[in-house]
Amino acid sequence: MIQSIRKLFTLLSPRTKRLLPFVLGSILFIGLLEMLSVALLMPLLANDLISGGGASQSKSTGIDLIFKLLNNFHITSLKDIATLVVLFMVAKHILITVLNYFQYLAIFKNDVWLRNELLFKYTNLNFLDFTNVKSAELIRNTAEQVGQISYGSLLSILTIVSETVVVFVLLGLIFVTLPVSSTILIISVFLFGLLPFYIFKKHIIYLGKIRFESISRTITEVQNIYNLYVEIKLYNIRGYFLNRVRNQSEIFTNAQVKNNLIANIPKGIIEIAAVVVILILIINSKSNQNFIPTIGIVVTSIFRIAPSFTRISSALTQLKFSVEQINVLYDVFQVSSLSQPITNEVRKITYTLFKEEVKLENVSFGYKGSHKLFSNFNLSVKRGDFVLLKGKSGKGKSTIVKIIMGLINPDSGRVLVDGKDLKEIDQGFWHSKLGYVPQKAVIIEGSLEENICLGVLPSEVDHELLELVIKNAQLIEIKEQVGSNTLSQEGGSISGGQAQRIGIARALYREPEILFLDEPTSALDSKNASLIHKLLNELNHELGYTVIIITHSNEFDSSATKIFEI
């Protein structure tokens, strides 16, 4: 548990850490308020006051002290004390509400920071390591589990600390007010309430792991439904995928039900133990003249402390339930466990790039656990070339492009830009010279302008360049068609050919020296494929763009200046 809390502390923002003293201070203050609220009720339960006495004659030092304090402020009548109690309760709950607001603000604001930091860590991975991250895990960790860290873990710790403070303060008050034997009985009530946590703690961690894994699998199954929708409709296999999602949902639900059941067991145990204690005190105290005040104070104390102990036990259960998610996010969060972006050990230089050619010189590469994709591969791309990388799937065409881009380091050999080793060139500067169009352009939910100028703030958009790009990518008709309307995510409101041209325009807006395209027409019909082919010819022949296309077909052969078979 201590180790999990230490890991959790790593997942706190600097702001949240700075606010921790305030949070702890407010917890102590709330504990003091709770003690005073119970202390003010004690004189009302004292036998002498109820019978009209002016001061307590009971043997309780605690109640005597409270009477003397009230007498100093000339508060002696039942009506005055009752009024004070009501006013104090109202003021207490207003103060607690205000303090809780700032506590929750400190906790849940951590979500914003943590989510951004996790995404920064992920996007800081080099290309190969990022491709090994499952999309379902990425979504789970950054979208769903970040909120659980605050709600399930931080809030649980806050509950444990705050309720523990309340319990100890009230037990201290009870200790100076009631006989030692009564105090011990009250404490034993709540110790019984913690037994389920210690009995089931290993099983709780197991349930948390099962729940955590089922979230990833559910996300994966939903993604499968989205990606295989055509096959699902065509082959009438909807029931198959719904059952797969249902199975994961049942696993999640069963884990959640069992955890909640364990969390609620202490409440029943505490109630049973409390009744037993009260009955023991009634049986053994009937001859005592302070019988009624004592029982009244015991009942008040138990039913004030009981909810706190129940919340402590539930929070401990929830914290154990969250151990797996804390461990996973902690591992992601540690810089030492993440591969860093490709770094340049040699002094980086910035200068005019790609005036002449890019060369691959005796380049070899193979993925871990796999055979070499290619060995001693050579390639030369001169400025203004129209280059095709052809070959069957899995032969390494896309890998070669990523090596040229500097996203992957070759196992051996060199990448030369105008005779300079790519390792000596600032990676960011080199990337600024490149444009990339994937096999299927991803359309985000936003305007045409936002999709083309992806990542550029509206105030920083170069509108003159944007208009030129729209013209060069033959998007004028689409601009008139959609206007300022929002394009739907994944491009549902436009055709595949239009989406592909938006992808080309996105690359052109970056003013690249080299334009890479990965199977740019494979998902298009012949009409749209012909339009894309014509557009790429114009970009190369008339505007001077260097074009490198990954393809397995022969449709671009007539335009190519060089063809490399992989």
51 pLDDT tier (thresholds 50, 70, 90): very low
User: In this model, does residue 459 exceed pLDDT 60?
Assistant: yes
The per-residue DSSP string of 471-482 comes to HHTT-HHHHHHH
pLDDT, greater one: 321 or 454:
454
pLDDT in tens, 343-381: 444 344 445 678 889 999 999 998 886 778 889 999 999
* Interacting residues of 446 by C-beta distance below 8 A, sequence separation 6+: 486, 487
Q: CA–CA separation, 375 vs 363, rounded Å?
A: 6
Give the mean model confidence (pLDDT) for residues 144-163: 79
pLDDT, greater one: 492 or 333:
333
* pLDDT computed for residue 439 by the predictor: 86
Spell out the domain ranges in the chain: 1-336, 357-565
The per-residue DSSP string of 198-235 comes to HHHHHHHHHHHHHHHHHHHHHHHHHHHHHHTHHHHHHH
What does the buried/exposed string (b/e) look like for 16-54 if buried means 16 or more CB atoms within 10 Å of the residue's CB? beebeeebeebbeebbebbbebbbbbbbebbbbbeeeee
Report if pTM > 0.85.
Answer: no
What residue type is 281 in one-letter code? Answer: L
pLDDT, greater one: 382 or 69:
382
* pLDDT computed for residue 137 by the predictor: 79
> Both tokens of residue 486?
């929002």
pLDDT in tens, 274-288: 777 777 767 776 555
* pLDDT computed for residue 322 by the predictor: 80
* pLDDT computed for residue 401 by the predictor: 93
Give the mean model confidence (pLDDT) for residues 112-135: 80
> Both tokens of residue 121?
């860590």
Q: Does domain 1-336 have CATH number 2.60.40.10?
A: no
Architecture of the domain whose range is 357-565: 3-Layer(aba) Sandwich (3.40)
* pLDDT computed for residue 337 by the predictor: 42
> Both tokens of residue 189?
């009530």
* pLDDT computed for residue 561 by the predictor: 93
pLDDT, greater one: 170 or 261:
261
Among 96-100, 123-127, 172-176, 325-329, the range scoring the smallest mean pLDDT is: 172-176
User: In this model, does residue 473 exceed pLDDT 70?
Assistant: yes
pLDDT in tens, 9-21: 888 888 888 888 8
Among 51-60, 171-180, 549-558, the range scoring the smallest mean pLDDT is: 51-60
Sheet containing strand 412-417, edge to edge, reads 374-382, 357-365, 412-417, 420-421
**Average pLDDT of the residues of the chain:** 79
User: In this model, does residue 530 exceed pLDDT 80?
Assistant: yes
User: In this model, does residue 416 exceed pLDDT 80?
Assistant: yes
* pLDDT computed for residue 42 by the predictor: 65
* pLDDT computed for residue 201 by the predictor: 78
* pLDDT computed for residue 76 by the predictor: 66
Among 48-57, 163-172, 420-429, the range scoring the smallest mean pLDDT is: 48-57
pLDDT, greater one: 209 or 337:
209
**From residue 183, how far is each of 35, 124, 269, 421, 514 by CA, in Å?**
16, 57, 18, 79, 80
